[in-house]
Amino acid sequence: MPYLMSLDEGTTSCRTIIFDENGKSVATAQHEFQQHFPVPGWVEHDANEIRDTQFRTMREALKLSGLDAADISSIGITNQRETVVVWDRSTGKPIHHAIVWQDRRTADAISKYDSPENQQLVSQATGLRLDPYFSATKIGWILDNVDGARAAADAGRLAFGTIDSWLLWNLTGGSVHATDISNACRTLLVNLKTGDWDDDLLALFDIPKSMLPDIRPCSCNFGQTEPEILGTSVPIGGMIGDQQSALFGQACIETGMAKTTYGTGCFLLMNTGNDIVRSEHGLLSTVAWQTEGQPPVYALEGSIFMGGAAIQWLRDGLGIIDTAPDVNSLASSVPDNGGVILVPAFAGFGAPVWDPYARATIQGLTRGSTAGHIARATLEGIAFQVVDLLRAMEQDSAVKLSEVRVDGGAAASDLLMQIQADLLNRTVRRPCVLETTALGAAFMAGLSAGVYTDQQDLTRYWKLDREFEPTLSEQDREQQVKQWHKAVNRSKNWTEETP
């Protein structure tokens, strides 16, 4: 039986899952890595730690599976997107910590570019918007703030990559500097129509083209691993950004199908087929995926910066839970939120608000408020953000969704999923395999290796675990949404200064 290894490099942990050809998990290994917050609003990772942690999980998963590296038909890579690594080509060493997608240090720099002409250029070319979320200004910050970096980049000595490129470089011993179109299109530097680096955007952000990786389809030959990593070389056949990978792993291959991933952030994506649908409600137009020899498939996306990370804050910041799953019992200890609303804008607002200066707030506290109310308000704060995305997406696409497929760690919470169904007024469908991000990358690798014949072949591996139907009255739902929007308005523009 063919086996596929999926490297799932997330914002807080690295995981390796080995799947059989039926999409069943055979072995999993996962380890967290350190988060660095040098200044409020800044988020960094040690790229070398990510590499070492990912390699460790690869070896552990292989050992747990009882397989040999020769049994692995192909490797797929999926990753946190927009996170920036810049390294020296000759030494392979990063010149600075990776700047994470959540990082807001370039909020002021964005204003330098924020003219109507540049907004039009960026929107039309990339489908994105001027925001520090994306990679371009992060690259610029490293070039302008690390001694000698700008000169080294101009001389062709530096390489840039999102985490997929960084892992590929290290897996292949520095022989392959490439990315895939789903990750490349998140940098603010790629033209959606051509699928290539855009010279006008490179000039706008002053990024030397020599730094950039080759752009390839999500399913193709990316090279071979160095033999010493797993004991023998293994083909690398898939690479795709985490949210697009989850859409693919959810078998949302037909136009109009949508999924929401509840990970560190929350991401609602709708397949728009071979058409680039332009948003008028704060959403993003993006490449969903591309397989070798085929045109790209596009998507509309709504990006929420703080999803499961808000639950982590309850654990690590407030200390009111010991583990993330404990939020469910704590939130269930109260019948409702007791008037408490938590707006989880810890890293500003993503779609559809887009306010890098917003900050998280807890509103409606009284002497009767408890940790249970705050926990429940946190789950509701995650779900309300998804409601705003879905309403914007339906307006842009003119498609009314009858269901939303869900995945990610927090989707395991029955309470959160019921809250989500109630507030969306839509059926929420949870699959048996929640780790669809890893599964999508495995599917991409499997297509490249010939394990699967085509995309349609993958639909038979999607299995329903449970459906959640809405039970809230229309009056109660709209009243809660109204209160939520009042709270959001109070969190906007909390500060107009960044470090």
Q: Are 77 and 7 in contact (CB under 8 A)?
A: yes
Q: How many CB atoms lie within 10 A of CB 353?
A: 17
Hey, which residues does 348 pair with through a beta bridge? 346
Residue in 345, 271, 333, 277 with CA at minimum distance from that of residue 305: 345
The end-to-end CA distance of the chain, in Å, is: 54
In one-letter notation, the amino acid at residue 493 is N
At residue 483, the 3 state secondary structure works out as helix
CB 442 within 8 A of CB 19: yes
The pair phi, psi for residue 319, each rounded to 5°, is 70, 25
To the nearest 10 degrees (0 to 180), the angle between helices 371-397 and 474-491 is 100
Amino acid at 272: T
Q: Give the class (CATH, top level) of 3-241.
A: alpha beta
Handedness of CA 15, 101, 266, 204 (dihedral sign): negative
Please give the chain's pLDDT, 499 residues, in tens.
Answer: 799 999 999 998 999 999 998 888 999 999 999 999 999 889 999 999 999 999 999 999 999 999 999 999 999 999 999 999 999 999 999 999 999 998 989 988 888 887 888 888 998 999 998 888 899 999 999 999 999 999 999 999 999 999 999 999 999 999 999 999 999 999 999 999 999 999 999 999 999 999 999 999 999 999 999 999 999 999 999 999 999 999 999 999 888 888 998 988 888 999 999 989 888 888 999 999 999 999 999 999 998 888 888 999 999 999 999 998 899 999 999 999 999 999 999 988 888 888 888 899 999 999 999 999 999 999 999 999 999 999 998 888 888 887 889 988 888 899 999 999 999 999 999 998 888 899 999 999 999 999 998 888 888 888 899 999 999 999 999 999 999 999 999 998 776 544 4
- Rounded Cα distance between 215 and 460, Å, is 30
To which residue do tokens 């690594």 refer? 85
Q: Phi and psi dihedrals of 222, rounded to 5?
A: -100, 0
